[in-house]
């Protein structure tokens, strides 16, 4: 490795796995090291720092790079995150509240660190170098364990007044849902996300109700199982209604679909496109992500590169 090459660390902190990548500062898309470890149940922020520090040290050793080659860190995480202050306000999957993770990373490594919501970071990556790179505005919709969107309007990542823009898991698709207790996930997430589908299937057919069991729901629906067909049809219709609402409110140039369910269930995507086409006066294209599961990590690295160059973010949003 050239002596002058400076490296970024990207961290994708998920409820299931923690992924760590090292990339050159000048070329964030060019990952030199990629490592993934399982997220331990009940992991504390302090335990997370220990694990990530070990993985970054191992990555530097693999590259035969000295610790001083590292010049910045970008971390993305699920949940409501204040990207300007680097605070994870509320992450259901991790059980974390008000964790000043950017400050903790900066103190641990002695380097500039930035923390952002994972879906916002994926939206930024899609806008910068993915499916939406020719668009002036986009919405990135992920449908996986949960459901959420990231919004880029006129080249800026929009977080909202309380850093909760895009938390469409709380969307209410029908009047009968008003006043019901949907727990911490919200109505749309519990009726159209992987965790909601799996729990609904477990109520009908047994099982643990873990998100991975959503795959069985889609498989059985393809086989014509009536209960599975009804669950998948409801999820598709509810997601389509949410995308129509997004289109009517924001009028983005493009909607980009990511997440394991949206990427692998063509019938669901076809229904979203059908409803959008028949409903909106100016239907926007609904396209698959071409970055796939790498989008959040790439967003983390892009944010880290920008933070190293300009460590103070503005209050309105992040320039995309």
End-to-end CA distance of the chain: 30
Which H helix or E strand runs over 257? strand 254-258
pLDDT at 80 over 50: yes
Residue 168 included in any domain: yes
pLDDT band for position 69 (cuts 50, 70, 90): very high
State the average pLDDT over residues 132-143.
94
- Find the mean pLDDT for residues 250-268: 94
d(CA 109, CA 303): 17
Residue 213 has pLDDT above 60, yes or no: yes
Pair (12, 103) in one structural domain: yes
The per-residue pLDDT for 117 is 96
Same domain, 300 and 273: no
CATH classification of the domain holding 219:
3.30.420.40
Predicted local distance difference test score (pLDDT) of residue 28? 86
The share of the chain scoring above pLDDT 70, in percent, equals: 96
Q: Please tell me whether residues 68 and 173 are part of one structural domain.
A: no
Evaluate whether residue 2 is within a structural domain: no
Work out the average pLDDT over 174-187.
92
The mean pLDDT of 96-106, rounded to a whole number, is 97
Please give the full DSSP string across 209-232, using - where no structure is assigned.
--GGGHHHHHHHHHTT-HHHHHHH
> Which residue, 304, 313, 319, is CA-closest to 31?
304
Query: Are 226 and 272 found together in one domain?
Result: yes
Residue 311 has pLDDT above 70, yes or no: no
Separation CA 159–CA 162 (nearest Å): 8
142 lies in the same domain as 223: yes
90/206 same-domain check: no
Predicted TM-score (pTM) of this structure: 0.92
User: How large is the average pLDDT for residues 16-28?
Assistant: 92
What's the mean pLDDT in 225-241? 96
d(CA 249, CA 146): 22
Residue 252 in domain = yes
At 278 the three-state DSSP class reads helix
Q: How confident is the model at residue 316 (pLDDT cuts 50, 70, 90)?
A: very low
Beta strands in 14-69, from DSSP E residues, in sequence order: 17-24, 33-38
224-232: long-range contacts, CB 8 A cutoff, minimum separation 24? 227/201, 228/201, 231/197, 231/200, 231/201, 232/197, 232/265, 232/267, 232/268
Instruction: Indicate the number of domains in the chain.
Output: 2
* Predicted pLDDT of residue 156: 86
Q: Is the pLDDT of residue 182 over 50?
A: yes
319 pLDDT band, cuts 50/70/90, is: low
CA distances from 212 to 39, 57, 254, 307 (A): 15, 32, 29, 35
**Which residues does 85 contact at the CB level (< 8 Å), separation at least 6?**
100, 102
H-helix or E-strand spanning residue 271:
helix 266-279
Q: What's the CA gap between 36 and 255, in Å, rounded?
A: 29
Identify whether residues 144 and 178 lie together within a single domain.
yes
83 and 102 within one domain: yes
* Residue 219 lies inside a defined structural domain of this protein: yes
DSSP 69: G
Rounded to the nearest integer, the mean pLDDT of the chain is 91
Which pLDDT score, from 0 to 100, does residue 318 have?
Answer: 56
Looking at the fold, whether 229 and 301 belong to one and the same domain comes out as no
- 307 shares a domain with 187: no
Structural domain boundaries, residue 79:
7-117+294-319
Contact 268, 274 (CB under 8 A): no
* Percent with pLDDT over 90 in the chain: 79
Q: Is residue 251 in some structural domain?
A: yes
pLDDT in tens, 114-136: 999 999 999 999 999 999 998 99
Q: What is the phi-psi region of residue 290: left when phi exceeds 0, alpha when psi lies from -120 to 50, beta otherwise?
A: alpha
């Amino acid at each position: 490795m050239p002596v002058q090459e400076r490296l970024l660390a990207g961290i994708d902190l998920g409820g299931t796995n923690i992924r760590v990548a090292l990339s050159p500062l000048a070329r964030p898309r060019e990952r030199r090291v990629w490592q993934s470890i399982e997220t331990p149940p009940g992991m504390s922020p302090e335990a997370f720092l220990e694990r990530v520090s070990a993985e970054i040290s191992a990555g530097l050793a693999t590259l035969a790079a000295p610790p001083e080659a590292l010049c910045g860190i970008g971390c993305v995480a699920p949940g409501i995150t204040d990207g300007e202050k680097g605070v994870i306000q509320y992450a259901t999957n991790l059980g974390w509240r008000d964790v000043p993770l950017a400050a903790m990373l900066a103190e641990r490594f002695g380097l500039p660190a930035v923390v952002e919501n994972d879906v916002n970071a994926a939206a930024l990556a899609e806008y910068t170098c993915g499916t939406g790179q020719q668009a002036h505005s986009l919405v990135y919709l992920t449908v996986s364990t949960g459901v959420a969107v990231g919004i880029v309007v006129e080249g800026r990542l929009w977080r909202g007044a309380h850093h909760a823009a895009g938390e469409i898991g709380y969307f209410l698709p029908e009047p009968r849902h008003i006043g019901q207790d949907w727990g911490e996930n919200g109505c749309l997430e519990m009726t159209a996300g992987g965790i909601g589908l799996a729990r609904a299937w477990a109520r009908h057919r047994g099982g643990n109700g873990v998100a991975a069991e959503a795959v069985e729901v889609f498989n059985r629906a393809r086989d014509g199982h009536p209960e599975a067909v009804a669950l998948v049809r409801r999820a598709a219709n509810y997601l389509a209604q949410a995308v129509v609402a997004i289109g009517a409110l924001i009028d983005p140039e493009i909607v980009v679909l990511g997440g394991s369910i949206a990427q692998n269930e063509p019938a669901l995507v076809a229904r979203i496109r059908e409803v959008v086409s028949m409903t909106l006066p100016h239907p926007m294209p609904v396209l698959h992500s071409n970055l796939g599961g790498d989008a959040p990590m790439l967003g983390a690295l892009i944010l880290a590169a920008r933070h190293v160059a300009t460590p103070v973010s503005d209050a309105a949003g992040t320039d995309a």
